[in-house]
Structure 1
Amino acid sequence: MGARRGDTRQRIQQVALELFAERGYEKTSLREVAERLEITRPALYYHFKAKEDILNGIVGDLNSSIDELAEWADAQPPTDEARRAILDRIASLLDDQWRPLIRFAQVNQAVMSEFPAGEEMRHRMMRIVSVLARPGDPPVRQFEARLAVIALILGNAPALLGLDLSDEERAQAAMTVAVRLALGG
């Protein structure tokens, strides 16, 4: 039963995030989330009492995955292979579980700036941006390391790039740029 409840919570979060990105956070009601899921409002309220609770859960999950990735990245040796593996993991998370939240944050910047969990997310994202930078690296190298991760993030933000590319083409281009920056050439 617990796994089923968790699946329902995840479905609610996924659908709510889609609606928040499509319509905007402020313009989306819990009624619309329930309708899209084809569940009753009381069933939705059983899991989440308010939109803020849904968003808190989504951001909390993202923050946990960022922490896990950052801890793993910190334990890697300072080699080109490790840097490439870190970029691969970031790209995989961006392509999978992070993409909807990144797109939501783009569309709902005002909400994220006012939302306490949004500030936490920004701090965590700064940690991810810094995972390739090593203490003692020259300033240019540290800057390149941060830009490598930002390239991957931008690859998942089509509106910011203004390039008419498929998701796959954009992701490939972003990884190519990220690798060049992270590996210094």
Structure 2
Amino acid sequence: MGVTMDGTKHQRRGDTRQRIQDVALELFAEQGYEKTSLREIAEHLGVTKAALYYHFKTKEEIIVSLFEDLTRPVEELIEWGKAQPRTLETKQEIVRRYSRSLTAAAPLFRFMQENQATVRELRIGDTFKDRMHRLRDIVMDPDAELIDQVRCLSALFTLHAGMFVMQDLEGDPEKKRAAVLEVAVDLVTQAHESAHRPSAAPEDGS
């Protein structure tokens, strides 16, 4: 079971492997990664430790598998975006799809935020940083002015901040997510329109 951006819990459907991932992530969030043992995970699942070993030998394997599974849509989005024309519509659609991917993987990203030392040791952080750079390169024009580069980066970080900050604000969760997305799309739109604004015609000096 995982925790969404608004603090509610949801159960991912799936097989035993996914149940192990969900329960492990919940325990990591409740009592900390270091304090959670494989035995506790097995007990919460109602299975033997041997049955757990069939799927995962270590806690590290569980976290890495979660990262690979829950961030796969981001990798697919990057590949899709690279094949599209660098239009405003493409950039806006990338931001929308990335927002959906983050929402689906919110429990994992919360774990990464709260356990940065563990994330660095497992090199998950490096992989995620690489994906962020590639995503940035798709929504940002190569010759963009500095202010437009900042706008594009801010659009992505706005979506990230929405997972952690917006839960402290009152209001309907869907409306909060929509507000965060609107701001992110607006930033990318401003950057694109600024980069593609026609230059002023030179004055006739004759």
Interval of TM-score (by shorter of Structure 1 and Structure 2): 0.7 to 0.9
Q: How far apart are 1:16 and its partner, in Å?
A: 1.2
Unmatched 5+ residue regions in structure 2?
1-13, 192-206
Corresponding residue for 1:141? 148
| TM-score in terms of structure 1 length | 0.84
- Distance change in 2, residues 1:32/1:128 (3 Å): farther
Q: Distance in 1 between matches of 2:64 and 2:42?
A: 18
- Distance change in 2, residues 1:89/1:163 (3 Å): same
Corresponding residue for 2:53? 45
Corresponding residue for 1:3? none
Q: How far apart are 1:25 and its partner, in Å?
A: 0.9
Q: How far apart are 1:102 and its partner, in Å?
A: 0.7
Corresponding residue for 1:67? 75
Larger deviation, residues 61-70 vs 10-19: 61-70
Q: Deviation digits for residues 151-183 of structure 1, max 9, x if unmatched?
A: 111111238x85345532331221111011011
SS in 1 for 2:190: coil
Q: Distance in 2 between matches of 1:108 and 1:164?
A: 26
- Distance change in 2, residues 1:128/1:11 (3 Å): farther
Q: How far apart are 1:62 and its partner, in Å?
A: 4.1
- Structure 2 counterparts to residues 1-185 of structure 1, below 5 A: 7-96=15-104, 98-158=105-165, 163-184=169-190
Q: Is the contact between residue 59 and residue 121 of structure 1 (CA under 8 Å) also seen in structure 2?
A: no
Structure showing the higher helix proportion among its residues: 1
Corresponding residue for 2:201? none
Q: Distance in 2 between matches of 1:116 and 1:143?
A: 26
Amino acid of the structure 2 residue aligned with 1:127: R
Amino acid of the structure 1 residue aligned with 2:164: A
Alpha-carbon RMSD across the aligned residues, in angstroms, is: 2.2
Q: Distance in 2 between matches of 1:29 and 1:169?
A: 38
- Distance change in 2, residues 1:154/1:53 (3 Å): same
Amino acid of the structure 1 residue aligned with 2:181: M
SS in 2 for 1:156: helix
| TM-score in terms of structure 2 length | 0.76
Query: Paired residues, what number?
Result: 178
Q: Deviation digits for residues 127-172 of structure 1, max 9, x if unmatched?
A: 334431121222222221121111111111238x853455323312
Q: How far apart are 1:63 and its partner, in Å?
A: 4.8
The 4+ residue runs of structure 1 with deviation greater than 4 A are none
Q: How far apart are 1:105 and its partner, in Å?
A: 0.8
SS in 2 for 1:131: helix
